[in-house]
Copies of this chain bind each other. A is one copy, B any other.
Amino acid sequence: MSEHQISRFDVPDLADLPDDIRDTILAVQAKAGFVPNVFLALARRPAEFRAFFAFHDALMESDAGLSKAERELIVVATSARNHCLYCVVAHGAILRIRAKNPLLADQVATNPSKADLTERQRHIVEFALKVATQSADISDDDISAMRANGFTDDEIWDIGAIASLFALSNRYANFAGIRPNDEFYAMAR
């Protein structure tokens, strides 16, 4: 871990955390080999920690409809638009892994229109970016167009919901100044 601060706000000691939160953190450490800083930064607020990861797992740990790689594609595209360093770096790594593609995350983060996307992926990214940046302008016609492009209502909802969740996540990481772990940068290159 670098010597830089994890967050602009105090990070509690593991020993002082509620059991369920400490268990969650130890489990992710066992699996990943390190603790992603977002777990440590949110731990100061147990209720928000629990709600955030419940939300996250409900939307990101499913292959029903959207694949896990498609879900991460939404995260990287919208987080880059919001200039969220934590989310682009951490989820960029996960996208490289889940899409088995070492180039896609950097492409989508820099300029989605130049990324190597399938037609389906392009529709997903464009709808997600509209939710992220101009949700007030989403009309019935946008929904109809997605249906006409072959998306089910559950898939459309998932794209909108993931873009919404990372609108939250990007802002938390940005106001709290959560630093991405150095480990993420070189993963799955």
Partner of A139, one of B80, B83, B110, B113: B113
- For A, the interface residue count at a CB cutoff of 8 angstroms equals 65
Known: A102-B185, A160-B176, A167-B167. A107 touches B136 (CB 8 A): no
B84→A185 contact, CB < 8 A: no
In the bound complex, residues from chain B placing their C-beta under 8 Å from that of A45 are 58, 157, 161
Task: State A50–B114 Cα separation when bound (angstroms).
Answer: 27
Min CB–CB distance A124 → chain B (angstroms) = 13
Task: State A168–B59 Cα separation when bound (angstroms).
Answer: 13
Listed stretches A3-11, A12-20, A26-34, A65-73; interface member? A3-11
Could you give 23 example pairs across A and B, Cβ below 8 Å? A8-B140, A9-B157, A44-B157, A45-B58, A48-B58, A54-B54, A80-B110, A82-B135, A82-B136, A84-B111, A84-B135, A85-B114, A88-B106, A109-B110, A135-B174, A135-B175, A140-B177, A160-B175, A163-B171, A163-B175, A164-B168, A164-B171, A164-B175
